[in-house]
Amino acid sequence: MRKEMNKLANKRTSKRGQMEIMGLAVVVILVIVGITLLIRFSLTPAKQTKEKFEAGQLPETIITALAQSTTDCQEQSMANLIEDCGAFGGTIQCEPGKNSCQYTQESINGVLDELLERMLKYKYKVILKKGGREDFNPEDLNDPAKIYLDSGCDESMMDIESASQPLPNNVEIELRICKGRIG
């Protein structure tokens, strides 16, 4: 009789143990679900109003304002110099030994270095296009009749915002801004 009662008690204890393990499993599942949800929400990128505002129309504003600005190279506009470089290979002489391509490249580099790299901490790329196609090969890097600037814009890694300014003679200048912040 006593043996049977002990058996029954053992059965009840093991059943209660199973219930506890079941309860623990439910709690652990709930915790895992909670943590997953928390991680998911915390990884959702935050809205960055200021960054969106600054970067959104930046390339367009820069390229338009820069193209219409008057240079100290024979009082030509930047657009005229870029067009001369793209269409005729730099026939306008700005300074002794400096044609429109070299002058433009140097000036644009100076402006973008100050504005994009120092102030906004963005990388950039400037490409001259002829007839809608990129007019640049890696071997043209020091060609005085071309314009090409790259401050280390890794297009495969960064978000790109770009704008281009069409000019006469099928010439076009394109500015790409890499939004991955540096520094």
Partner 1 sequence: MVLLVFFIIITIGLVIYGTYQAGQIKQSIREAFDRDAVVIALRVSFLPEVTCSENNVVEENCFDIEKIRAFKSEMVNGANDDMFLFYVGDLKKSKISVKQLFPLPVENQVTELYNNIPPENERAEQHEIIPTFIPISLKDPTRRAGKEYAFGVLTVEVYKEG
Chain contacts with partner 1 (rule: CB under 8 A): 20, 23-24, 27, 31, 34, 38, 42, 46-50, 53-54, 58, 61-62, 64-66, 68-72, 75, 77-78, 107, 110-111, 114-115, 119-120
Q: In the complex with partner 1, which residue's Cβ is closer, 44 or 142?
A: 44
Q: In whole angstroms, what separates CA 18 from the centre of its chain?
A: 56
Phi, then psi, of 100 in degrees rounded to 5: -60, -35
- Min dist CB 50 to partner 1, Å, is 4
- End-to-end C-alpha distance for the chain, whole angstroms: 81
- Min dist CB 106 to partner 1, Å, is 11
- Min dist CB 61 to partner 1, Å, is 5
- Min dist CB 36 to partner 1, Å, is 13
Q: In the complex with partner 1, which residue's Cβ is closer, 10 or 48?
A: 48
Q: In the complex with partner 1, which residue's Cβ is closer, 105 or 107?
A: 107
DSSP 8-class letter at 142: T
Q: What share of the chain is helix, strand, coil (3-state, %, to 5)?
A: 50, 20, 30
Interatomic CA distance for residues 9 and 3, integer angstroms:
10
Interatomic CA distance for residues 80 and 132, integer angstroms:
18
Q: In the complex with partner 1, which residue's Cβ is closer, 27 or 182?
A: 27
**Beta strands 93-95 and 98-99: pairing type?**
antiparallel
Q: In the complex with partner 1, which residue's Cβ is closer, 79 or 135?
A: 79
- Min dist CB 39 to partner 1, Å, is 10
The dihedral region occupied by 75, where left means phi > 0, alpha psi between -120 and 50, and beta the remainder, is: left
